Amino acid sequence: MLKIEFLGSGNAAGVPVWGCRCSACLQAQTDPGKRRRGASLAIHTDEGVTLVDAGLTDLAERFSFVSVKRILLTHFHMDHVQGLFHLRWSEEARRIPVFRPDDPLGADDLYKHPGVFEFQPPFKPFDSVEWPGFRVVALPLIHSRETFGYLISNGNYCMAYLTDTAGFPAETLNYLQRYPVDDLVLDCSEPPRESMPRNHNDLNAALDLWRQSGASRLWLTHISHRLDCWLEHSGATLPEGVAVVTDGMLFEIEEDCVSQKLIVEISRKG
The string of pLDDT tens digits covering residues 139-167 is: 999 999 999 999 999 999 999 999 999 99
Instruction: Check: CB of residue 137 under 8 Å from CB of residue 123.
Output: no
Number of domains in the chain: 1
Question: Quick count: other Cβ atoms within 10 Å of Cβ 206?
Answer: 28
Report the helix count and the strand count for the chain, using DSSP H and E.
7, 15
Quote the pLDDT of residue 204: 96
CATH number at residue 176: 3.60.15.10
CA distance 186 to 201: 9
Residue 103 burial (10 A CB sphere; 0-12, 13-18, 19+): middle
Quote the pLDDT of residue 202: 97
The end-to-end CA distance of the chain, in Å, is: 23
Residue 256 burial (10 A CB sphere; 0-12, 13-18, 19+): exposed
CA distance 192 to 205: 8
Quote the pLDDT of residue 256: 53
Instruction: Supply the pTM of this predicted model.
Output: 0.94
Parent domain of 214: 2-268
Maximum C-alpha span of the chain: 55
CA distance 111 to 53: 16
Instruction: Check: CB of residue 98 under 8 Å from CB of residue 70.
Output: yes
154 beta partners: 157
Q: Which residues of the chain have pLDDT under 70?
A: 255-270
Quote the pLDDT of residue 258: 33
Contacts of 189 (CB under 8 A, 6+ apart): 11, 197, 200, 201, 202, 222, 223, 224, 227
Beta pairing class for 96-99 and 262-267: unpaired
